[in-house]
């Protein structure tokens, strides 16, 4: 095998590897989009328009916290632990947010020097 043939083989392998990576990225993107679409549809069932707007406002300021709230709401909804009417009215959503933030604060602790 000459240097030219070896170089061509390396190029072919590299191209195949890049094509495989691109295909994997495309599949991952499609899965992410499908997950986001499902999440959107479920959130429409859980929250009324005012609650969804409140959640979007939270997302602007704290995107990770908004994601956490969404996942907790979906878990509560799917397990049947969301009491009352769904979609939740904004007032009920605010109460749930207060519960979540209170429980989050309890997890944080500070050590003070004496």
Name the residue with higher pLDDT: 85 or 22.
Answer: 22
CATH 1.10.1530.10 fits 3-103, yes or no: no
Tokens describing residue 97 = 């947010």
Q: Where are the domains of the chain?
A: 3-103
Its pTM surpasses 0.85:
no
Residue 8: pLDDT over 80: yes
Are 35 and 74 spatial neighbours (Cβ–Cβ below 8 Å)? no
Calculate mean pLDDT across residues 10-18: 95
pLDDT in tens, 56-102: 999 999 999 999 999 999 998 888 887 666 788 888 899 888 988 88
């Amino acid at each position: 095998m000459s240097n030219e043939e070896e170089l061509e083989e390396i190029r072919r392998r590299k191209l195949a590897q890049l094509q495989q990576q691109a295909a994997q990225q495309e599949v991952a993107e499609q899965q992410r989009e499908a997950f986001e679409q499902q999440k959107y549809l479920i959130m429409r069932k859980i929250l009324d328009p005012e609650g969804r707007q409140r959640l979007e406002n939270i997302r602007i300021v704290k995107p990770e916290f908004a994601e956490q709230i969404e996942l907790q709401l979906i878990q509560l909804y799917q397990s049947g632990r969301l009491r009352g009417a769904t979609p939740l009215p904004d007032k009920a959503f605010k109460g749930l947010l207060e519960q979540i933030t209170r429980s989050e604060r309890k997890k944080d602790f500070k050590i003070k020097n004496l």
